Each structure stands twice: as structure tokens, then as C-alpha cells.
């Protein structure tokens, strides 16, 4: 008896493998171009002396943020456009590639700029950077997750479909609470079928309350001992209240439907 040919399956697997490699190479190319853009911003910055240059780096802790803030504050008035452009580009870069450190840039923004400018900058950069991360994950992550975790991807997609009309409220809730890290939300959202519009809008609005606290803390950056100083018990409870309020439309909608039935 003649065995059935397995060539089509082999070709399908080969095509998937090729597409995965192609996506990863595209991601590496985009990352490299982004690094070139950051280097260009660095080269266009005013000439710094050696004691200042060593502090021009991504802030990984509160001390890095303090040192960077002191350097940028000296040049902020004369080179305002260069300083704010550098903060914007770095912030978007960190968000787009799910790199930690954006919290310290939020605190730093509160130190360098007045409150309305800082809040607008942080919310906009968060939304733009998260949307870029969403698109990059859509380019690479969708294929990888569906190839290696097909059943889990299907389950997630079904959950999203059940709450299709309340996605904005859920994104707001997730952004205001620490249940899931922001980088995880950015990477998984396109894989499970969350549309870009509620994702981006929910990010812009949802990061405002925690950013409010970080920016406010940034006004006292020089006296901060750690990033946790930005979130006291009172401020954490306040975030919890905002998170619950974000789900209020969903709760009222469900109760209204139950009364109609």
C-alpha cells in the first residue's frame, strides 16, 4: 500500500520557519535603525565635558535618573528642543522594544518640565511606544505564539471575543493596576486579537493616573531614595479607586442586561 505523501506538511513547516526567520531579521533591522537614530540624537546634543558625558545613559535606578536630570537641567533652557526630543525618542524606544526604564523617564520628566508638558509627554510617548511594540509583536509574536502555543492562543482569542465591547475598559484597568506588566500587555495584545484603536486609546488614558504620581514625585527627584518613593500607600489606594472606576461601565452594563432579561 502506497504511503500518503508528507511533502505538503513539510513545505508548510518550511514556510512557517522561513516566515519566522524573516520576521526576526526584520525586528533586528528595525532595532538597529532605532539605535542609529538614538546615536544621532546623542551626536547632535551640545558638547559635554567628561564629568557630564558619563551620566548620559539610560537610567536603570534612581541615582542614574538624578545624575541624568542634573546634566539635562543645565542645558534645558538653552537647548530645550534637543532635551525634550531626546527624552521623547528614548522613551518611545524603551516602550517599543519592551525595555525597562520608562518609569525613571517619567520621574525625570517631572523634574525637567512643568506638569502639563510632562504629563502630555509621558502619556503620548507611552501610547506611541506601546503601539509600536504592538505592531512589532504583531509582526513577530503572532506567528511564534500560534506556532508553538496554538491552543493557548485560541483560548486567549476566545476570551477577547467575549469581551469585545468592553476592551477599552479592560485596557484602562490593566494599565492602572500592577497585575500584568506593561511590556507583557504590549506583546500579547495583538496576538490575542485586541484591536489597535482601543489598545492605543486605553494606553494613553490608562497610564495617566500612575504617571501623575511619578511626575509629581519627579519634582522632588533630588530627595528621592528609590523609585518606590513615588508610590505611597495613599497613592496606591488612589490608583485602585481609578482602576475600579474604569470597570464601572462594564459592571453597570451587565447589571442593566440582567434586569432586562
pLDDT at 53 over 50: yes
pLDDT at 259 over 70: no
pLDDT at 200 over 90: yes
CA 228-102-144 angle, to 5 degrees, is 120
Name residue, grid cell 525586528. Answer: 27
Element (H, E) at 56: none
3-class SS of residue 85: helix
Task: Report domain extents, the chain.
Answer: 18-260
Write the DSSP string, 93-137. HHHHTT-S-HHHHHHHHHHHS-HHHHHHHHHHHHHHHHHHHHHHH
- CA 229 vs CA 53, 57, 216: distances in Å: 27, 22, 11
Query: Of the given ranges (13-17, 76-80, 152-156, 183-187), which has the lowest mean pLDDT?
Result: 13-17
User: Residue 138 corresponds to which cell in the numbers above?
Assistant: 504583531
- Per-residue model confidence (pLDDT) at position 153: 64
Name the DSSP class of 47.
P
23 CB-near residues (< 8 Å, 6+ apart)? 139, 140, 143, 144
Give the burial class of 129: count Cβ atoms within 10 A of its Cβ; 0-12 exposed, 13-18 middle, 19 or more buried.
Answer: buried
- Per-residue model confidence (pLDDT) at position 221: 73
Say which residue, 187 or 91, is predicted with more confidence: 91
Task: Give the confidence band of 71 by pLDDT, cuts at 50, 70, 90.
Answer: confident
Contact between 188 and 152 (Cβ < 8 Å): no
CA-CA distance, 226 to 111, in Å (whole number)?
15
Taken as a whole, the chain contains a residue count of 261
Query: Of the given ranges (2-6, 44-48, 155-159, 190-194), which has the lowest mean pLDDT?
Result: 2-6
Tens of pLDDT along 109-150?
989 999 899 999 999 999 999 999 998 888 776 666 666 666
Q: Which of 116, 252, 128 is nearest to 200 (CA)?
A: 128
pTM of the predicted protein model = 0.77
Query: Can you tell me the mean pLDDT for 143-171?
Result: 71
Q: What ranges in the chain are assigned the alpha helix state H?
A: 7-44, 50-53, 62-75, 80-96, 102-112, 115-148, 150-162, 167-176, 182-188, 196-206, 208-218, 233-260
Mean pLDDT of the chain: 77
Phi-psi region of 144 (alpha: psi -120 to 50; beta: other; left: phi over 0): alpha
Give the burial class of 177: count Cβ atoms within 10 A of its Cβ; 0-12 exposed, 13-18 middle, 19 or more buried.
Answer: middle
Query: Of the given ranges (68-77, 157-166, 218-227), which has the lowest mean pLDDT?
Result: 218-227
Say which residue, 87 or 22, is predicted with more confidence: 87
Contact between 115 and 218 (Cβ < 8 Å): no
Amino acid at each position: 500500500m502506497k504511503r500518503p505523501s508528507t511533502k505538503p506538511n513539510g513545505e508548510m513547516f518550511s514556510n512557517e520557519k522561513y516566515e519566522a526567520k524573516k520576521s526576526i531579521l526584520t525586528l533586528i533591522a528595525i532595532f538597529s535603525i532605532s539605535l542609529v537614530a538614538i546615536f544621532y540624537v546623542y551626536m547632535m546634543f551640545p558638547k559635554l565635558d567628561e564629568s557630564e558625558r558619563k551620566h548620559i545613559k539610560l537610567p536603570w535606578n534612581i541615582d542614574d535618573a538624578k545624575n541624568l536630570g542634573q546634566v539635562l537641567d543645565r542645558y534645558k533652557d538653552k537647548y530645550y528642543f534637543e532635551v525634550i526630543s531626546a527624552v521623547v525618542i528614548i522613551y518611545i524606544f524603551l516602550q517599543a522594544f519592551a525595555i525597562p526604564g520608562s518609569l525613571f523617564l517619567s520621574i525625570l520628566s517631572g523634574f525637567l518640565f512643568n506638569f502639563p508638558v510632562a504629563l502630555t509627554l509621558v502619556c503620548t510617548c507611552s501610547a506611541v511606544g506601546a503601539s509600536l511594540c504592538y505592531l512589532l509583536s504583531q509582526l513577530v509574536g503572532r506567528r511564534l505564539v500560534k506556532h508553538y502555543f496554538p491552543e493557548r492562543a485560541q483560548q486567549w482569542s476566545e476570551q477577547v471575543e467575549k469581551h469585545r465591547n468592553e476592551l477599552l475598559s479592560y485596557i484602562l484597568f490593566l494599565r492602572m493596576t500592577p497585575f500584568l506588566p506593561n511590556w507583557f500587555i504590549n506583546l500579547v495584545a495583538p496576538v490575542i486579537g485586541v484591536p489597535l484603536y482601543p489598545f492605543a486609546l486605553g494606553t494613553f488614558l490608562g497610564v495617566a493616573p500612575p504617571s501623575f504620581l511619578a511626575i509629581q514625585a519627579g519634582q522632588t527627584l533630588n530627595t528621592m531614595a528609590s523609585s518606590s518613593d513615588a508610590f505611597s500607600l495613599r497613592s496606591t489606594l488612589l490608583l485602585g479607586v481609578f482602576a475600579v472606576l474604569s470597570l464601572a461601565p462594564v459592571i453597570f452594563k451587565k447589571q442593566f442586561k440582567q434586569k432586562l432579561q
